[in-house]
A = this chain, B = another copy of it.
Amino acid sequence: MIEVEVKARAYKDSKEKIEALGGTPLGVENHRDLYFNSPSRDFKKSDEALRIRIKEDGARLTYKGPKLDQQTKSRRELTVKIDDPAQMREILSFLGFVLSAEVRKRRTKYSYQGMVIALDEVEGLGTFLEVEAQGEEDWENEKERVLSVLKKLELKDTIRRSYLELLEEKRG
């Protein structure tokens, strides 16, 4: 599955703007994201990611492939639900994967025309807005849709770096 995704820094009025646009509130989630690096290639260089996400409704293991274009942060995303994140973390460790970072955020989610708009308050980074859609071969069409939502919300400067990369950048 291709996760078609754009991100930008949110403004103070972004929440109001999403609601004015007609976004349907989907609730608030607290994410604890653990990122791992591979023993066989440096994910920072290969632009991949392996993540355990722990949130209220359970935990998931997600692999993200390299970004697919220069404009958005769209990439292949594969996810399985797991019943025991501590055990998964231990399995990854025995397989040689090393914890590289932890990202905590509070995500307020909206549904809008089959897409998800997420307002993310990221610990240590501030507030961001992401617009996400899912596609397969048709993902280039979805790209136009997510970019048009960003435009409607009057957010111009898209950020292609992940929260993980932004945190690493900040730490120098």
Contact = CB atoms under 8 A, between A and B. Distances in A.
Interface of A: 38-41, 48, 50, 61, 63, 65, 76, 78-84, 87-88, 90-91, 94-96
A92 to B, nearest CB: 9
Contact of A91 (B41, B78, B81, B90): B78
A78 B93 CA distance: 11
Copies of this chain present: 2
Contacts of A90: 78
A63 B80 CA distance: 17
A94 B39 contact: no
Given A63-B91, A91-B61, A91-B63, A38 B96 contact: yes
